[in-house]
């Protein structure tokens, strides 16, 4: 699995519209994302700057890139283009972010269990 993050933005007067269109997203789009190996996908808004921060966990870069060629993705881009800066193909203007730090507990380790998986004293 690969973790990825990227930045986009939404027009300052369209924050509520952007949120509404994602709550919920189209079931067909959600199905397409899952079918293409997206395991987790979150988008956060900084209301002061109108920046969007997206985080996704994907199975592969190739499958993620293939989403852009689906009909539902192209329709979603057209549906969203008036709310955010967009490229000539209607895809949102975005910039990939580089991961600098990550921490994750090993499988089976819960809070207070320590790295070995057992209780700490």
Q: Is 36 tagged catalytic?
A: no
Instruction: Report how far residue 41's alpha carbon sits from residue 54's, in angstroms, rounded to the nearest whole number.
Output: 7
Secondary structure of the chain in the HEC alphabet? CEEEEEEEECCCCCHHHHHHHCCCCCHHHHHHHHHCCEEEEEEEEECCCCEEEEEEEECCHHHHHHHHHCHHHHHHHHHHHHHCCECCCCCECCEEECCCCCCCCCCCCCCCCCCCCCCCC
Choose the catalytic residue: 22, 36, 79, 102: 22
Active-site residues, by number, are: 22
């Amino acid at each position: 699995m690969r973790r990825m993050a990227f930045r986009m933005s939404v027009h300052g007067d369209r924050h509520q519209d952007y949120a509404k269109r994602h709550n919920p997203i189209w079931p067909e789009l959600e199905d397409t994302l899952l079918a293409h190996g997206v395991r987790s996908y979150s988008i956060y808004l900084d209301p002061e700057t109108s920046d969007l921060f997206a985080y996704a966990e994907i199975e592969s870069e190739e499958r993620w890139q293939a989403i852009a060629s689906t009909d539902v993705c192209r329709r979603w881009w057209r549906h969203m283009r008036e709310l955010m800066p967009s490229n000539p193909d209607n895809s949102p203007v975005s910039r990939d972010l580089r991961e600098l730090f990550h921490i994750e507990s090993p499988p089976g380790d819960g809070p207070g269990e320590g790295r070995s998986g057992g209780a700490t004293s």
